[in-house]
Amino acid sequence: MKVILAETAGFCYGVERAVNLARETAKARGGAMLGSIVHNAGVVREIEDLGMRLITSPDQAKAGETVLIRAHGEPRATLDALREGGAEVVSAVCPHVERIRKLAQEAEHEGRRVILIGERHHPEVQGIAGWCSDPLIFENVQEAQKYLQEHPDFAHLPSIMLAQTTCIRALWESCVKFLKKQCTNLKINDTICNATQKRQTEAAELSAKVDAMVVVGDRRSANTRHLTEICRENCGKVLQIESADELSPEFFSGCRVAGLTAGASTPASIIMEVLTTMTEENINTTAPETSESFEELLEKSFKTLNTGDKVTGIVTAIGTTEIQVDVGCKQAGYIPVSELSSDPDVKPEDVVKVGDEIEAYVVRVNDVEGYATLSKKRLDAVKLWEDIETAVEDKTVLEGTVTEVNKGGIVVSVKGVRVFVPASQSGMPKDSDLGQMVKQKVKLRVTEVNRARRRVVGSIKSVLNEERQAAQAAIWEGIEVGKHYDGVVKSMTSYGVFVDIGGVDGMVHISELSWSRIKNPAEVVSIGDHLDVYVISFDPEKRKISLGVKDRTQNPWDVFMNTYKVGDVANVRIVKLMTFGAFAEVVPGVDGLIHISQIADRRIDKPSDVLSEGQMVDAKITAIDEEKKKISLSIRALLSGEEEAPVEE
C-alpha cells in the first residue's frame, strides 16, 4: 500500500502563531488561557505544563494575571469583563478572525445587518457575533430561506455576508447564490481562510483517488470535521482520529493507496506519528513516497532568512512605526513604515490590512534578537521596473502625475519612477506654458527604457492622438440630425464659434447662438464654456458639422403672444437704427418697429437724435400683425398720453 500525505496538512499560520505566543507567554510570566488556545488537547496540555492554567470564564481570572485570548477570539463583553477584573490581556486571535470582526463592525457602522455563515455554537462564530448588536447566523441555506420567508422585508435592508474562516466552500457558495438573488442591498465578503480553502481542495482531490482516507485532528475542531465531511463525499472509507492509537490494520484491508490529511490545529508531531504508524508499525507497507517531502515541510518551519531573500508572509499587526509580518520562520518579520511605500505621506492601514498576504525583500537579519527587517518598497520598485520594461514591449498605457517642468519637457512620476516626456510629446501646442501641466494626472506610453541609467522616456501625445481618433470615430458612427451633445467652445470668429463635441469640432453660426440679435459671439459665450448643442446638419465626407444652440421648442413669437397684447407697455432694447425709425427687441428673438414719428413728441430729423443702440426704453404696443409677425411700438404715446394710430411701413 502506498500512503499519500496532503501537502498542507497540519498547523496553519494562525494556529502556529497562537501556539508560539502561548508558549512564549507561559515561559515568560505564566498566567491563564481563556478556553483552549486551539482545538487540540495535546497542545493545551503542553501549554499547561509550561505554567499556564486553563480557565473557562472571565471571573476565574485573577487580578493582575496575564490572560491569553485563544485563536478563535472572544466576544467584546468577555474582554471588558477581563479588563474590569484587572487582568492583563494578551491576544492570540488569528489575524483572519480579527479581520472578520473588523469587517462586521465597519458594516454595522454603515447601517448594515451582519450575516454570518458558519456553525452557530463554534467559538469563532460566537466571538465574532459578540462584537455585533444583532447578527444573523445561518448554518445552511435552508436556515436562510426560512428566515427570509418569515421576514420578507429583510430582503430590501442593507446587509453584509461573512463566512466562518473554516466554512466549507460549497456551503458558502450555496448561501451566496441564494441570498444574492433575494437581497437587493447585500455586500458579500468571502472570508474563508485561504489556508482552509487550499486544505479542503487538497482533501477533496486526494480522497477522490485513494482507497482509504485518514483525517487527523481533535474532534472538537470544526476544520477537521469539515475535512472529514469533504473526504466522505469522494471516498467510501474515511477514518477521523485524534492520535495514532486509533489506527488498526483492519481498516486498511484491501487498500492499495491510502491518503492522510490533518486539521489546522494538529501538531506536526502527531501527523508524523500517524504517518509512521501507517507505514511501518501497524501496517505492513512500503515507505510512502511523500515521507521525505513531509520532513522537508517540517524543516521549512525552522528555516532562517538571509539578506536579499524575497519572502511571502501574512500581516499580523499594524503599528504606527512598523508592520509585523509572519513569514513562517523562526525570525519575526517587520516592515518599517518608511519601507512600506514610495509615498512618504501614505498611511500603513491604507496599504495593508491584518491578514493580507504580502511580498517583501529581506534587507537585514538580526539572529541575536530574532527578527528580520523587510522592505515592500524595494520589491515594488523592482517589480515596477519590470512592469515598465514590459509596458514598452506591449505598448501599455500608464498613468502618472506631472511633477516638474524640465529642460526640453516635463517629468511624470509613474508609481515613483521618473519618466521624461519631451515638449513635443506633451500634447501641448508649440511654445505653450508647460508649467500649467504640473500636478495634473496624465496618461502616457513608455517609448524608451534604460534601466542601467535609470532613464525612462514617454509620450503623452501618442495616447491623446489615439483617444482623439477613437472619440472621433465614435462621434461619426453615432451622429444624427437633432442629436444633442455637451460641447466645449474651442475658438471664436466674427461669424460663429467652433465647439468640441468629444473629439470632433462643429460650427455654431452666430444666428444659432441666441434668439436675440448679437453682433459678436463674445456677447453670449466665452472660450471654454460648456454648451448644450444639437446637430442641424453634417457632411461625413467633408467632415463638417453644423450645430445649433437655440431651443426650438421655445418659439420667441409664442413667448411674446403669451406675454403681451395691444396697449401693453414693454421695456424694450434698441437694437438697430434706421432712417425711418428704430427696431427694438421686445423679448429675445422678437423685434418691434418704432417709427420715427413715434419716437418723440416733437419732430426729429433722424432716430439717432434721440435713441442709441443698446438703450433700454419703455414703449407702448400699438399694433400686432399675427400673420406677418410684426409689431408696432410707440414712445410718443407714453409721452403725450395720446392713442397713436399704427404707422404703415
d(CA 621, CA 316) in angstroms, rounded, equals 85
Q: In what order do the strands lie in the sheet with 113-117?
A: 136-138, 113-117, 159-163, 186-188
Residue 42: CB atoms within 10 Å = 14
d(CA 74, CA 69) in angstroms, rounded, equals 7
Q: Long-range contacts: 138-147, Cβ < 8 Å, 24+?
A: 138/175, 140/171, 140/174, 140/175, 141/171, 141/174, 141/175, 141/178, 144/115, 144/175, 144/178, 144/179, 145/178
Residue type (1 letter), 503: G
- Residues 415 and 384 sit within 8 Å (Cβ to Cβ): yes
Question: DSSP secondary-structure letter at 626?
Answer: T
157 backbone φψ class: left, alpha, beta (φ>0; ψ -120 to 50): beta
Active-site entry in 98, 119, 124, 512: 124
Residue 28: CB atoms within 10 Å = 10
Q: Please, how many CA atoms are within 13 Å of residue 365, restricted to the half-sphere of its CB?
A: 16
The full DSSP string for 361-391 is EEEEEETTTTEEEEEHHHHHHHHHHHHHHHH
Question: DSSP secondary-structure letter at 563?
Answer: H
d(CA 243, CA 230) in angstroms, rounded, equals 20
Residue type (1 letter), 413: S
- Any residues with CB less than 8 A from the CB of 464 and at least 6 apart, and which? 427
CA distances from 99 to 120, 128, 168, 216 (A): 19, 10, 19, 28
- Any residues with CB less than 8 A from the CB of 616 and at least 6 apart, and which? 571, 572, 573, 574
Closest CA to 105 of 74, 132, 143: 132
Coil, helix or strand at residue 117: strand
Q: Which helix (H) or strand (E) holds 229?
A: helix 222-234
Residue type (1 letter), 276: T
Closest CA to 6 of 290, 247, 256, 233: 290
- Residues 489 and 497 sit within 8 Å (Cβ to Cβ): yes
Residue 124 a catalytic site member:
yes
Closest CA to 268 of 259, 257, 256, 260: 260
Pairing of strands 257-262, 212-216: parallel
State the helix-helix crossing angle for 95-109 and 13-29, rounded to 10 degrees.
100
Dihedral (C-alpha) 426, 432, 438, 439: value to the nearest 10 degrees? -80
Q: Which residues are catalytic?
A: 124
